[in-house]
A and B are shown apart, each in its own frame.
Chain A
Amino acid sequence: MLLLVSFTTTRMAVCIAIIAKDNSPQYIAALDFEKELELQYRVHSALDVVDEKCAPGLKPSQDSRDLYLGLLYSTESHKIYGYITNTKIKFIIVIDSNSLLRENEVRSANLNHMSPEPEIK
């Protein structure tokens, strides 16, 4: 949890959420309080895509060890990325679509911060 809080301070994400195995929210933080409600709805509906991506037998070719689910969906203003652990804990990150972040940067940034010993870039 501490690692993820530090992640929000990198100003990349407008919202991050940790979702439990039963899809209940464990932690949600949004940068903009005004938009919190909308962002929560976004995160919630992102779970649809997480469910799809993790549906059994759908994509056996995908490396099951890979936590990164990639872009879940995007809206005009936001891009929503997902990560899932082996214990089905989901990390949902909402990024401003105007952010010039590349997808592999999102991926590596998150993985670094989630690993037990984060690298400091």
Chain B
Amino acid sequence: MPLTFLISVCGNGPLFRSIESHLVTSIPLDTCEWKRSYGRPVKNVRVEAAFQPFDAKILDKFKNDNWNITEQPVLHLYVTECDIETYKSTVKEEIDNWLKMLSNYGIFDWMILLVETVDIKKTKNILPRTTVVDKMRLDFGAKHADRCISVLNPIKFEMKATESFRCLLQRIRYLMLTGYNRNIVKYEELVRTNREKRNQEGWSFIKYFLLQEQLAFVLEKLGLHMEALVQYDELDAMFSQFVLNSVFGEKHQWLKVFERQINDFNGITMNSKKMAETRKKVVDSSASILEFRSYVFERQAVLLNASDRQWEIAERLLPFLFATLKEIDALKSETPDGALSCWQFVCALEVLNVCDRAIESKDMTNVFHHSAPIWNLAKDKLYELGKLCGLLPGFTPTSEQLHMVVQLSAGIGDSFLDEEPLMDTKVNETDRSHSPKRPIRQSSSDRLKEALGSNQAFQKLYLELSELAISTYKHVGRLRSARLVGLDLGNFYCTLSKPQKAVVFFTDLLRELKAEKWNYLASQTLLELASCYRKMEDWIAYTKTCGSISCCLDLEILVRTFYFDEFLVSLKCIKIPDGEDGSDETIVNVLEDHFQLLSIEVQNAAQIIQDDLIVAQIKIESHFPREILTNQISLAYCAHDKQAPDSSKQSALLSMSLHLEHKQDNSLSTASVVCASKLKPLNRRSSKLPQNVTRTDFNNEISAKNVVIKPGVNVIELTSKATRVGVWNFKQISIIVDEKLEYLSDELTVKQTPFEITTKAASAVLSFKNLVAGIKQPVKLIISGGSFIFPKCSMIQLKCSKNLKIRSFETECMDAIFKPEVSVRLENFKSFDERTISMEVICELPGQRDEKYFEHSISLHCPWSRNEIQIPLHFMPPFTASCRLHSSETRKFLQVIIKGTEASLVLSDAKMTCDYKGVNLKDQNPKSQNNIRIYQGLCVSYLWEIEVEPLKAENELPVIKVNFNVQYAHNDDLDDKRNFVCKFDVQDYTTLFRIYAKIESSELCRVGSVCHLNLTISKIQESSFGDLMYEVLPDQHTWAVCGRTAGVISSEGQSVILDILPLCAGFLPMPNVRLSKYIPAGRNEIHPKLEPFPPGQVYNATKSVQIHVLASATEGN
């Protein structure tokens, strides 16, 4: 609605009237930019103009600061139609007087309009020197040339005038707004001045209110709703301050107007007609404080609604209501009982209606946000009224109460719905898709009246409002508030004897409270629930609730014990409906409400072996006020998942990650930390339903039966056989009472370390170092038990291969005898034990001469296996023995050489025997050296002379067998002597030939001078050999043989002389001479053959003779 501005007109009245209608219709057709003072934002406005004749009286008011902004002209217009002569003679003076008068009043918003009716161009062909307008501008428009304007009379020049007329319109609009602006500034000043006088005698707030409200009206009409609102807010705050100060004795006379009995308590209404009526009352000073306050709020609401800030209306409502109540209290205005509740209720519903129409706005969330508490307030107020008027369930209104209803209904007033509210009403039913469907066309006051009319209507409305309050609270996420409304609604349902409906709300509330550990409130809710279940005769739920109540530590012990007794009594009466599959179903309870699991400790050692008993000790705190007998306490366990991170840790930590941004040249621009979880906001804890306890797999469980749990901390041992291998974690605890009531825990939160049930193969091995035959060797039997559970008297049997014996030190007696088979007893052998048993083995030493290993084995028979375990053992001989035959002419000697190998031994009592007659062995060993130590690498020789009776010729005894026997003992254990027996064969022991060599020279032997080697080979014993061959084999560095070095001789013996040459000086060994059997070539053979003699048959008498060779004479010189 455009604002109508007043324009005063002076001058040629009839002329103006001819164009007035044209102006009035044309001015509002276009908008004009309104430039405002004090840097306020520029605004395009559309204005209407109304013209009135110039009146100096109005200007008098203006001068005396007693003016009204709507009545004050914003522009003063002087209209004339004249030629230059008339202007000069009369019009100029008239205008001059007019302007002087205006400036006397301090008005500068004027405009002179010259209407040109005569077409100058048509009448005179010469252009005039000066026009009237130019003259006017020269005379009056020194600074305001734009205030003098000429226009072609549109009546006479229809076509031509359009352009000039448009200019006129723009000019008028502009000057109107300029003038208006000036007026506003002036009016604001007026308001301010008036406000400064507020403490003066006779000042009236109501007058001031009406003064400032004018400004608000104007601003509103200009579309400046928020600025208009500011005017009301200022007035609002000012009034509050006055009332507040009045409490402290600073009471103004005008305030007494409001100190009257409040009989009308119509709530606010967005109806313009009603508002105008109330305003009239305010002007008449006949409005009560309630009416005045309602009016101010209504105006504020209208302005907020116009600027699409419906949410703010809702936001302001509650503070407005509460503040007004306090002001009424402060002014001690009397109100009938229930009047204020009615007023608040209607106000609330009216604002909700406004909000309801606003649902299409973008601030929808905001609207809901603020409307939720209003629904709640409406519900509460209705309840108060219901209580007052006997409308609550179970009550019937008395005649007094009926009378009260009539009075209240009268006070509420009539609705103004016959006229459509001034605000946008185009919203139809389909647009209100966000909002719950409800009949909106009924006015707030009518709804209240209807509700007060009957118990049924009251109940219906109360339930509706409650549900709306709950749903709106839920919609904006205020769950706690929603539950609190639910509590009221639940209580209401209880009085309605509909406990089954109340239970829903109580249960929701209880869950919310329990989730946040508001135990005191939760226990109160439980009490409500218990009474509901009792009324419903739901004995299972009743029993559960009684049990829970008895565990509420916040309640008095008497209450708790009472409900504990109830619990026990009703528990006995419960009959459980059989499960669908006929199995015994239990009534599941949340364990955490009744017990608190403090700790779980597995008592077993680190690992539990399969089939062993798992023993765990739990500490559990019972909240029951007395002892309770449980049928079974079980603790389920499930496989421990190493990958799964601790769920509690996961929720506590946000997943933060490093975020780096690089510039174009790859240098670092910014480094920041990014939280990726913003996309998945943390869930409210209460959205989890703690009541949804599900029974996990109790196939793996440890349990205890028939345990009495005392109030307070109990230590209970749970056991079970470990059946399945793996790493396990405890998962859930279940306590069953009276076979049918089961307390099941949520996920366990106590600290626990996973326990392991294992199985591991047992093993037995022999450990030893290099083994030596013939002496005791230490061997260790190492048994590791693994997870095998050993019977009490289990044993391991060890069986040796032939010639190997073993003994064990397992038994105390150290001198156990060596046996080919031994049993090791495993007494008190437990799983995972490791035991090392020291043993000794001895391997019989055969008369073996060479250094070969003796291979043996031991087979083990273990209790955990049916198969024998073969363990190979290799023994080394402790020493080796060899025998050599030596000759001295015809005498014969036997040398036995003992060579030490691995062990350190002491040899003693070496003996050599021969069984043949006529063979005599003469011991050549010194008796003083009986005990001889040998060790690795050391050789010991023994010597015997062997004499064979001459009669016993070699052909009679070709081989003589001799036995060598020596005792040996280990260096560490000299007493433990053992015999070493060895047999040697002696053959070819008779000397057949003798070699004798001699160097013959004229003087002494010298290097470089030839000597003679006289070689004599003589036969000593008859033999069957034919020819012999000798070979002289000198060292090539010492001797050189001149001529032949070998020759064939007969077996009878012969002397040969050879020339040899010494090559170096010194004691040179005699050149070696070898004698061999010479076998001439046979028929098929080309070469004759040589066959060596065994060592005993040829005796070289000069074998180790040395010849002194002097250096050559020439060399010496």
Please report the C-alpha to C-alpha distance between residue A76 and residue B322 in the assembled complex, in whole angstroms.
6
Give min CB distance, A24 to chain B, whole Å: 4
**A79 closest partner in B (C-beta):** B322
Q: Which residues of A contact B478 (CB under 8 A)?
A: 45, 48-49, 52
Please report the C-alpha to C-alpha distance between residue A92 and residue B963 in the assembled complex, in whole angstroms.
114
Give min CB distance, A13 to chain B, whole Å: 18
Across the interface, do B521 and A40 meet the contact criterion of CB distance under 8 Å? yes
Please report the C-alpha to C-alpha distance between residue A98 and residue B1089 in the assembled complex, in whole angstroms.
147
Across the interface, do B518 and A44 meet the contact criterion of CB distance under 8 Å? yes
Give min CB distance, B328 to chain A, whole Å: 12
Please report the C-alpha to C-alpha distance between residue A73 and residue B322 in the assembled complex, in whole angstroms.
12
Across the interface, do B524 and A76 meet the contact criterion of CB distance under 8 Å? no
Please report the C-alpha to C-alpha distance between residue A98 and residue B326 in the assembled complex, in whole angstroms.
8
Across the interface, do A40 and B487 meet the contact criterion of CB distance under 8 Å? no
Within 8 A of B (CB), among A50-84: 51-52, 56, 73-76
Please report the C-alpha to C-alpha distance between residue A76 and residue B516 in the assembled complex, in whole angstroms.
27
Does A34 reach chain B (CB closer than 8 Å)? no
Across the interface, do B480 and A47 meet the contact criterion of CB distance under 8 Å? yes
Across the interface, do A41 and B477 meet the contact criterion of CB distance under 8 Å? no
Given A74-B319, A74-B322, A41–B487 Cβ distance below 8 Å? yes
Does A37 reach chain B (CB closer than 8 Å)? yes
Q: Mark B303-335, 1 if CB is under 8 A from A, else 0.
A: 000000000000000110110011000000000
Within 8 A of A (CB), among B507-532: 513, 516-518, 520-521, 524
Across the interface, do B516 and A37 meet the contact criterion of CB distance under 8 Å? no
**B373 closest partner in A (C-beta):** A73
Q: Which residues of B contact A75 (CB under 8 A)?
A: 322
Please report the C-alpha to C-alpha distance between residue A56 and residue B680 in the assembled complex, in whole angstroms.
13
Across the interface, do A24 and B517 meet the contact criterion of CB distance under 8 Å? yes
Does A32 reach chain B (CB closer than 8 Å)? no
Give min CB distance, A106 to chain B, whole Å: 16
Across the interface, do A48 and B479 meet the contact criterion of CB distance under 8 Å? yes
- Give the residue among B322, B480, B678 with the most A Cβ atoms within 10 A: B480
Does A85 reach chain B (CB closer than 8 Å)? no
Given A44-B513, A97-B326, A25–B480 Cβ distance below 8 Å? no
Please report the C-alpha to C-alpha distance between residue A50 and residue B518 in the assembled complex, in whole angstroms.
16
Q: Which residues of B contact A24 (CB under 8 A)?
A: 516-518
Within 8 A of A (CB), among B463-494: 477-481, 483-484, 487
Please report the C-alpha to C-alpha distance between residue A6 and residue B477 in the assembled complex, in whole angstroms.
35
Across the interface, do B517 and A25 meet the contact criterion of CB distance under 8 Å? yes
Across the interface, do B518 and A48 meet the contact criterion of CB distance under 8 Å? no
Across the interface, do B322 and A23 meet the contact criterion of CB distance under 8 Å? no
- Give the residue among B318, B481, B487 with the most A Cβ atoms within 10 A: B481
**B473 closest partner in A (C-beta):** A48
Across the interface, do B516 and A23 meet the contact criterion of CB distance under 8 Å? yes
Number of interface residues of A (CB under 8 A): 22
Across the interface, do B524 and A37 meet the contact criterion of CB distance under 8 Å? yes
Give min CB distance, B365 to chain A, whole Å: 11
Please report the C-alpha to C-alpha distance between residue A52 and residue B373 in the assembled complex, in whole angstroms.
15
Please report the C-alpha to C-alpha distance between residue A45 and residue B518 in the assembled complex, in whole angstroms.
12
Across the interface, do B480 and A48 meet the contact criterion of CB distance under 8 Å? yes
Q: Which residues of B contact A44 (CB under 8 A)?
A: 480, 484, 513, 516, 518, 521
Please report the C-alpha to C-alpha distance between residue A41 and residue B321 in the assembled complex, in whole angstroms.
22
Q: Which residues of B contact A74 (CB under 8 A)?
A: 318-319, 322
Does A22 reach chain B (CB closer than 8 Å)? yes
Q: Which residues of B contact A76 (CB under 8 A)?
A: 321-322, 325
Please report the C-alpha to C-alpha distance between residue A23 and residue B521 in the assembled complex, in whole angstroms.
14
Across the interface, do A48 and B326 meet the contact criterion of CB distance under 8 Å? no
**Contacting A45 at CB < 8 Å: which of B325, B480, B524?**
B480
Give min CB distance, A103 to chain B, whole Å: 12
Please report the C-alpha to C-alpha distance between residue A25 and residue B514 in the assembled complex, in whole angstroms.
11
- Give the residue among B318, B478, B479 with the most A Cβ atoms within 10 A: B478
Within 8 A of B (CB), among A101-116: none
Q: Which residues of B contact A25 (CB under 8 A)?
A: 517-518, 520
Q: Which residues of A contact B481 (CB under 8 A)?
A: 45, 48
Number of interface residues of B (CB under 8 A): 24
Q: Which residues of B contact A49 (CB under 8 A)?
A: 478
Across the interface, do B520 and A40 meet the contact criterion of CB distance under 8 Å? yes
Please report the C-alpha to C-alpha distance between residue A28 and residue B517 in the assembled complex, in whole angstroms.
13
Given A23-B516, A73-B373, A41–B479 Cβ distance below 8 Å? no
Number of A-B contacts (CB under 8 A): 54
Give min CB distance, A41 to chain B, whole Å: 6
Q: Which residues of B contact A98 (CB under 8 A)?
A: 326
Across the interface, do B326 and A40 meet the contact criterion of CB distance under 8 Å? no
**Contacting A40 at CB < 8 Å: which of B319, B322, B518?**
B518
Within 8 A of A (CB), among B1038-1089: none
**Contacting B477 at CB < 8 Å: which of A40, A45, A52?**
A52
Give min CB distance, B656 to chain A, whole Å: 14
Q: Which residues of B contact A47 (CB under 8 A)?
A: 480, 516
**A47 closest partner in B (C-beta):** B480
Given A22-B516, A24-B516, A24-B518, A41–B322 Cβ distance below 8 Å? no
Give min CB distance, A73 to chain B, whole Å: 7
Given A74-B318, A98-B326, A41–B516 Cβ distance below 8 Å? no
Give min CB distance, A14 to chain B, whole Å: 16
Please report the C-alpha to C-alpha distance between residue A74 and residue B477 in the assembled complex, in whole angstroms.
18
**B684 closest partner in A (C-beta):** A51
Give min CB distance, A51 to chain B, whole Å: 8
- Give the residue among B483, B513, B516 with the most A Cβ atoms within 10 A: B516
Please report the C-alpha to C-alpha distance between residue A98 and residue B322 in the assembled complex, in whole angstroms.
10
Please report the C-alpha to C-alpha distance between residue A47 and residue B516 in the assembled complex, in whole angstroms.
11
Please report the C-alpha to C-alpha distance between residue A44 and residue B373 in the assembled complex, in whole angstroms.
15
Q: Which residues of B contact A23 (CB under 8 A)?
A: 516
Within 8 A of B (CB), among A1-60: 22-25, 28, 37, 40-41, 44-45, 47-49, 51-52, 56
Give min CB distance, A83 to chain B, whole Å: 18
Please report the C-alpha to C-alpha distance between residue A56 and residue B479 in the assembled complex, in whole angstroms.
18
Across the interface, do B517 and A22 meet the contact criterion of CB distance under 8 Å? yes
Q: Mark B19-49, 1 if CB is under 8 A from A, else 0.
A: 0000000000000000000000000000000
Give min CB distance, B524 to chain A, whole Å: 6
- Give the residue among B325, B477, B521 with the most A Cβ atoms within 10 A: B521
Please report the C-alpha to C-alpha distance between residue A39 and residue B480 in the assembled complex, in whole angstroms.
14
Give min CB distance, B257 to chain A, whole Å: 24
**A77 closest partner in B (C-beta):** B322
Please report the C-alpha to C-alpha distance between residue A45 and residue B521 in the assembled complex, in whole angstroms.
12
Given A47-B480, A48-B478, A73-B373, A41–B521 Cβ distance below 8 Å? yes
**B484 closest partner in A (C-beta):** A45
Q: Which residues of A contact B319 (CB under 8 A)?
A: 74
Give min CB distance, B471 to chain A, whole Å: 15
**A73 closest partner in B (C-beta):** B373
Please report the C-alpha to C-alpha distance between residue A105 and residue B279 in the assembled complex, in whole angstroms.
37
Give min CB distance, A7 to chain B, whole Å: 21
Give min CB distance, B948 to chain A, whole Å: 115
Give min CB distance, B522 to chain A, whole Å: 10
Give min CB distance, B629 to chain A, whole Å: 32
Across the interface, do A41 and B517 meet the contact criterion of CB distance under 8 Å? no
Q: Which residues of A contact B521 (CB under 8 A)?
A: 37, 40-41, 44
- Give the residue among A23, A40, A41, A51 with the most B Cβ atoms within 10 A: A41
Please report the C-alpha to C-alpha distance between residue A48 and residue B472 in the assembled complex, in whole angstroms.
13
Please report the C-alpha to C-alpha distance between residue A68 and residue B35 in the assembled complex, in whole angstroms.
42
Q: Can you list 21 A-B pairs with a CB-CB distance of less than 8 A? A: A22-B517, A24-B516, A25-B517, A25-B520, A28-B520, A37-B520, A37-B524, A40-B518, A40-B520, A41-B521, A44-B484, A44-B513, A44-B521, A47-B480, A48-B479, A49-B478, A52-B477, A56-B678, A74-B322, A76-B325, A98-B326
Which B residues have a C-beta under 8 Å from some C-beta of A?
318-319, 321-322, 325-326, 373, 477-481, 483-484, 487, 513, 516-518, 520-521, 524, 678, 685
- For the complex with contacts A22-B517, A24-B518, A44-B516, 16 further pairs of A-B residues with Cβ separation under 8 Å are A25-B517, A25-B518, A37-B520, A40-B520, A41-B487, A44-B484, A45-B480, A45-B481, A47-B516, A48-B478, A48-B481, A52-B478, A56-B678, A75-B322, A76-B321, A98-B326
Per CB-CB distance, the 5 closest pairs between chain A and chain B, nearest first, are A24-B517, A48-B478, A45-B481, A23-B516, A45-B480
